[in-house]
Chains A and B, each alone.
Chain A
Amino acid sequence: MPHLLFARDLVKTYNGSSGSTTVLAGISLAIQPGELVTIVGPSGSGKSTLLQCLSGLDSPTSGRVEIEGTDLATLGADAFAEFRRDRLGFVFQSYNLIPALSAFDNIALPTRLSGGSVDKARVRSALSAVGLTEVARQRPSQLSGGQQQRVAIARALAASPALLFADEPTGALDTESGSRVLTLLRTYASGERSVVMVTHDLEAAALGDRVLVLRDGGIHTQLVRPTAVDVFAAVDNARQGRR
């Protein structure tokens, strides 16, 4: 089966006044269509940096990322923006909705930016899928955190991206909202569509088809369809430096 995402020898180094810090130390991985891959690890292990490099939000210092066979480094800024709009989706812990736009307009934005006409029924259906039809005309500042996150997910899902990146999507949510968000992400990862999710919630991580446990910028352990207990043990081992 062809890889949906393929990363090879990813290294990310930051140069500061006190010398350079290596955050990713040569990570290689592949993601297949239909997979939900979760990434966990202690603070500072490089989870968010890995997600940013995989999704092209940041460039690795060295190494290569291919999505659907396209090497991200070969795309110019505008070509990458179009690729991102058509093939990738993002859900962030801080929601990242555009404050000037209503919930409806935030969801319709990718379609509008591609020059297409907005399919109102499709946007309403995306809002309905996250249970928010009643807030369509409200701006992000008028919504609760959980509602904003669900709008962000509706925006990501409405465009049907091949690959959805989620960075701590439940980090700022209450238990009920968080569980709703996780169900949406779990359901989305099927057929040709995959989800890569960074989380510090180990029970949420156990929903993944595969769990990558990071430590010191490298993959410490890889678990396939683990239980929550397996994930807890693996992260604890990573923290202690045990295999």
Chain B
Amino acid sequence: MIPRLVLAELVGGWRLWAGAFVVCVVAALIALVCAGDVSTAAILSEAQNPSGLINHALVFGAMNVPVVIGALNILLVYVVRLQRTHHALWQFGGVTPKLIRRIVVLQVGVVGVLAFLVALVLAAPTLRFLLNGLSAAVRGTEEEQITEVALSPAPTAIAFTVFLMVVVGSASSAARAASRTPALVAVRAPAEEPSRPSRARTVAGAIVLAVAGVLWAVTLNGGSGYLDFSQILVIIAFLLVAPVASQVVMEGWTRLMPFRSPSWFLAKEFAHHNVVRSHAGISLLVVAAGIGVETGYIGLWQDPEYFSIALAIFGTPIALVLVTGAATIFMTATHRRREAALLVVSGGTYGTAVRAAVVEAVIFVITALILGVVVALPSALGPQPGGTWWQAFVPLPFVLGLGLALLLTTTVAPVLQARRRVLSVELARESA
């Protein structure tokens, strides 16, 4: 019965799991790139600097593992939250909380294995792009260039094991949440109260922020190498208070705007409502901005030669958080299609709904920009290694521009889909 339930729920809720699947593919690719680095290093000559590849594997892995864990955790918790009614209904069918936990872990495991298989197919071209393409600039002579990439069985098996442990580990809190779903949810959707971080989480955020402040002060007094840690700690502190910070900042600046058009009104109200449901879209955009600022601070955007290296190391975590943020919004497509239908039946046009979706995406990005600038302050106000204070902010427009493009796709596409569907069918659909 369990395999059938696992598969039926995966197929039935494919839209929810598709986002998790895409993020898992990127995470698996990251693991396979590390495995590819190690495998390729083994077949390189000394002139081709195999230790450089091992270093890449270490830095690339270290940069990506925390981001993968964080992104998957946010995503899977959200997937489970959107499926609360199903989990409550299972309980009426006799499925125990313990079994619900196992089923959710199994679902994530199946998605992870499928994602790894897809990543295996994509691994060779990705490795060639990273090793032949992006690193070509720093491999000066022809004999230093890497012409062949390898992916040996042993490193691949280790990559698979680590990947699956990370995926299943990230699913554990989501599975725990699923097993605690009250059966009452099957009968009545509970009111969506604004999510507030727990006291412990707020205290942890304050402690992390204090440590970041100390490290920043040490750097100002001549200590070296602490600013990077300080920047990372500020990002972590932000994530700890993100649910309330995202809401407060968004509500604060949007209420100050003097606009009165129906599109602005709807976008503002929808954005306030949706940020209560999930702050993931904004938080992940802020994390991407924070990582981008870090690359700007260390001067990787000043020199084209280093830019490709920056892309090879920092590109994946930035892409991963942006894709995860977009995935959380993509998951609510059914809800957004119904919202567009409700708007139309209330007297709006699909044009109004599209404009509201565009403005809502802009509201998300501007909120992320404000928070991103605050998060970037340690780098911007710290001692600049041969540059000016604004060099840390150079990547911001690119990262947020990319985020805006992804958000626009995920908010506008459901409205355009709704336009092609029969209104009565869309209205009858259960909101996801």
**Residues of A close to B189: CB separation below 8 A:** 141
- Bound state CA distance, A81 and B343, in angstroms? 10
**Residues of B close to A159: CB separation below 8 A:** 347
**Residues of A close to B262: CB separation below 8 A:** 112-113, 115
Query: Chain A residue with minimal CB distance to B427?
Result: A96
- Some 14 contacts from A to B, beta carbons below 8 A apart, are A57-B423, A58-B424, A77-B349, A81-B349, A85-B346, A94-B428, A96-B342, A96-B345, A99-B431, A100-B269, A100-B273, A113-B262, A114-B347, A141-B192
* Contact, CB under 8 Å: A113 / B422: no
* Contact, CB under 8 Å: A99 / B273: yes
Query: Chain B residue with minimal CB distance to A112?
Result: B262
Q: Give the total of A residues in contact with B, Cβ under 8 Å.
A: 33
For chain B, give the interface size range: 20 to 34
**Separation in Å of the A157 CB from the closest CB of chain B?**
14
Residues 188-207 of B, flagged 1 when their CB comes within 8 A of A and 0 if not, give 01111000000000000000
Q: Is B66 an interface residue (CB 8 A)?
A: no
* Contact, CB under 8 Å: A78 / B351: yes
**Separation in Å of the B420 CB from the closest CB of chain A?**
11
**Residues of A close to B339: CB separation below 8 A:** 98-100
Q: Is B306 an interface residue (CB 8 A)?
A: no
Contact of A155 among B192, B273, B346, B419 (CB under 8 A): B346
- Bound state CA distance, A106 and B274, in angstroms? 17
**Separation in Å of the A81 CB from the closest CB of chain B?**
4
Contact of B269 among A101, A142, A155 (CB under 8 A): A101
Contact of B348 among A57, A81, A90, A141 (CB under 8 A): A81
**Residues of A close to B191: CB separation below 8 A:** 139, 141-142
Residues 100-139 of A, flagged 1 when their CB comes within 8 A of B and 0 if not, give 1100011001101111000000000000000000000001
From known contacts A105-B269, A141-B191, infer whether A58 and B348 are also in contact, taking CB-CB under 8 Å. no
From known contacts A98-B339, A100-B274, A142-B191, infer whether A81 and B427 are also in contact, taking CB-CB under 8 Å. no
* Contact, CB under 8 Å: A81 / B347: yes
From known contacts A96-B345, A98-B346, infer whether A58 and B273 are also in contact, taking CB-CB under 8 Å. no
Q: Is A82 an interface residue (CB 8 A)?
A: yes
Q: Is A232 an interface residue (CB 8 A)?
A: no
**Separation in Å of the A153 CB from the closest CB of chain B?**
14
**Separation in Å of the B84 CB from the closest CB of chain A?**
13
Query: Chain B residue with minimal CB distance to A102?
Result: B269
* Contact, CB under 8 Å: A112 / B265: yes
* Contact, CB under 8 Å: A85 / B347: yes
**Residues of B close to A237: CB separation below 8 A:** none
- Bound state CA distance, A198 and B347, in angstroms? 22
Q: Is B78 an interface residue (CB 8 A)?
A: no
- Bound state CA distance, A100 and B348, in angstroms? 15
Most buried by B among A84, A100, A141, A155: A100
Query: Chain A residue with minimal CB distance to B428?
Result: A94
**Separation in Å of the B81 CB from the closest CB of chain A?**
14
Q: Is A32 an interface residue (CB 8 A)?
A: no
Q: Which of chain B's residues 159-179 have a Cβ closer than 8 Å to chain A?
A: none
**Residues of B close to A99: CB separation below 8 A:** 273, 339, 431
* Contact, CB under 8 Å: B423 / A58: yes
* Contact, CB under 8 Å: B350 / A110: no
- Bound state CA distance, A8 and B348, in angstroms? 28
**Residues of B close to A81: CB separation below 8 A:** 344, 347-350
Told that A96-B427, A115-B262, A141-B189 touch, could you supply 7 new A-B pairs with CB distance under 8 A? A84-B347, A85-B347, A85-B348, A97-B342, A98-B342, A100-B269, A141-B192
Q: Is B87 an interface residue (CB 8 A)?
A: no
- Bound state CA distance, A97 and B189, in angstroms? 14
- Bound state CA distance, A94 and B430, in angstroms? 10
**Separation in Å of the A83 CB from the closest CB of chain B?**
10
**Separation in Å of the A20 CB from the closest CB of chain B?**
16
* Contact, CB under 8 Å: A78 / B345: no
Contact of A113 among B274, B346, B428 (CB under 8 A): B346
**Residues of A close to B269: CB separation below 8 A:** 100-101, 105
- Bound state CA distance, A94 and B427, in angstroms? 9
**Residues of A close to B85: CB separation below 8 A:** none
- Bound state CA distance, A100 and B339, in angstroms? 9
Q: Which 8 A-B pairs have the closest CB atoms?
A: A85-B347, A100-B273, A57-B424, A110-B347, A81-B349, A52-B424, A141-B191, A58-B424
- Bound state CA distance, A141 and B185, in angstroms? 13
